Amino acid sequence: MARKAKADPGAGEAGSGITLTRHPKARRQIAMAKGWGGLLAFAVVVHLSSKAGLPTVNAVLRGLLGGLAGYVVAWVIAVNVWRHLALAELEALRRRVVESMEAQAQAAAAATGAVVKHDGSRSSGDPVAQG
């Protein structure tokens, strides 16, 4: 009986979209947020459990569960924030490219004497030729 070859987890999606795992700043900051979220939640839960008079073992166990919850919550928040930031970066890049293309079209039109309309269509400067 032949074994099924394991598929590469990212092979089917290569080039099919933008992911935050490929964004260097996003990956690093999401990892940092997860770590701080888990540590902060752990410390808060252990502190509150200790102040409530729980035995140390129970306080630490509750702290571990709280830290796990803080880790997941921080991850969800960080991913959502970075998703919006990445989309804003893409929109800014798109606008810069469009402005650059318009400037190049204006320069080319000025060199040839054609008039570039706002919709991108060109016309010659001669009104008889347009008619």
Kindly report the backbone phi and psi dihedral angles of residue 123, in degrees, each rounded to the nearest multiple of 5, phi listed first: -145, 155
Say how many domains are in the chain: 1
Mean pLDDT of the region 109-125: 66
Instruction: Decide if 128 is inside a domain.
Output: no
Instruction: Decide if 3 is inside a domain.
Output: no
Instruction: Decide if 14 is inside a domain.
Output: no
Q: What is the rounded CA–CA span in Å between residue 58 and residue 84?
A: 39
Instruction: Decide if 129 is inside a domain.
Output: no
Dump pLDDT digits (tens) for 20-68.
888 888 899 999 999 999 999 999 999 999 999 999 999 999 999 999 9
Structural domain of 70: 23-112
Q: What is the rounded CA–CA span in Å between residue 50 and residue 54?
A: 6
Instruction: Decide if 41 is inside a domain.
Output: yes
pTM, entire model = 0.64
Instruction: Decide if 122 is inside a domain.
Output: no
Q: What is the pLDDT of residue 50?
A: 95
Instruction: Decide if 106 is inside a domain.
Output: yes
Instruction: Decide if 55 is inside a domain.
Output: yes
Q: What is the rounded CA–CA span in Å between residue 130 and residue 125?
A: 8
Mean pLDDT score of the chain: 82
Q: In the numeric block, which tokens belong to residue 2?
A: 């032949």
pLDDT over 90 at 80, yes or no = yes
